[in-house]
Structure 1
């Protein structure tokens, strides 16, 4: 039998998607499943984006430019400038989702065997992207005790080696919902300048910043123009996960030139999706105000209800639409599977994402879950009640 590559064997399973077969089986057996496991917003996509595709009269669906259309990139740049970032269209490469932007970034800044430092827990696919790129993830642990704030800079500095090429953050964070402050970003900026590293920031949840706290982008920080690489996407901002359009932004010309070569190798991002994404930039601010208000309400409700359950500890998120909850169980992988296979309340159950998959340090997060509050409030109440009842009878407690 032909042999599968080591890289293929080492690719991690998604902690978000690996339980899908169990959920599908539960549904086949007639049970309703409340999905708290995946960041698929239930907010409607802006009509202006959908109409741009519906009303388009293209006669030939041609390739787009590898870097994205000039018109679209200029409009993205205008959006960034409205957020206080000095960015032009030439600083942007349009990608097939933020995922491709991350892959291109790792391919640009690191060679096989090089290292990137990431505060954990982190978006699970960072492990997959690193494995696919032959790059080693070096985790620096953040803690639920302080809401997953940025670890001390000294903790980062201890991990820097001759193979270190970059620090990667997600701001606001998936899976923690933590929003880095301007002071924390500035500390990271000073660190990458001191050690001549890249600072990669996944900022796809930028619009989801709560409690009157403003998101501070690395692209606003002066003096790190050659170090800063920002990852972005339309998926969450406009509830357009299926469009698969993102971008990579940097004022480092060598970075952009190199990323473009990766983009040329895959030809181009989808034309219709770029049309929809360009139109989405016309979405009025009122849309984001309403969405933010809704998510704050959901967050407050979810955290409040979770805190009522004995033995549960939850970090209060400042952004995005996730939180990490610590449960009184030994292994949330087993618990999540048990919920789908063996438990129900009124023929209903819940699906959560075990948090161990958001860590790269073995043994971390085994009693934690990530919960996405992307359901309407009455469904969140029902889902948390099911979780509460499940914890009362779970046999491994």
Structure 2
């Protein structure tokens, strides 16, 4: 497929990002939500879905969802409710998932991203909703059986659903990275993709440039790194263009991405798509969020990356590049905050962070030790 042919088409992508919330207990029970316990230890009759058990909402989950909505400029729905999403998986104990469908907690937000050429784009957010996670199936631990670990069943999630505003793999990576940065600054999710704390599904389609109608989309499930997100999008773009150019039709399939060879394959076809049969969750009343509670949560919001970048540039006089580098990781930015209390030489402090300190951090082992050290220990290195 030549670049000339690819240039005729426009990529259209929307992302669904699942962020696992850092609460002590699960969303509808008092079971521990901690990661790393022995299989099936963090369970009870509620998370196992036994008959007669009833869910009870974890208030911290609601607070975290509201804070994420505020950080992404969403409208917070004061009246929202839960629904049942009906499907069968072996690791879904109740045979349905409690989620939010028609009345999510947050709608109509946006995230501003910065690209490598320093240009900016705004990606709209359709909705943020709360839901419970499923358990985990393991198919490679035994030659004859699949094993089920239900520790994760009922762990709270928020799903951040973007509009189809993304037009390149680079934009997708920048958007995902910005969302991960926000949840870390808010302290609601650790953003650890390796442990499954954040997962991403990408809805991908193509259309001829200049057309307004969207093409038929395919959904690539459970992308577990920013690099694999970019690889999957790039592969799907070329695959769909080649299919159309050869007279074929893109079918609405759910796809799996094979990280080993960088290709996608059909997980479920359109004919096998689920009919989720959503209906209002009968065991949970609608949520009515009091205005004074919303205002109290707003007062708890930390300074977010975009606000820090603005302050570093316009109050501390840092170059835009320095401000973005320092705020990439909250721990680094927090360390810089301590550092500039000890010196008026802000640019020198930034140079030291971006140079020697960042070099040490890149070695890996020193990261937690270095950023927990008091800047007083490094004061003699500054002007």
User: TM range, normalised to the smaller chain?
Assistant: under 0.3
User: Which of the pair is proportionally richer in helix?
Assistant: 1
User: Which of the pair is proportionally richer in strand?
Assistant: 2
**Structure possessing the higher relative contact order (Cα contacts under 8 Å, 6 or more residues apart):** 1
TM-score computed with the length of structure 2 as normaliser: 0.27
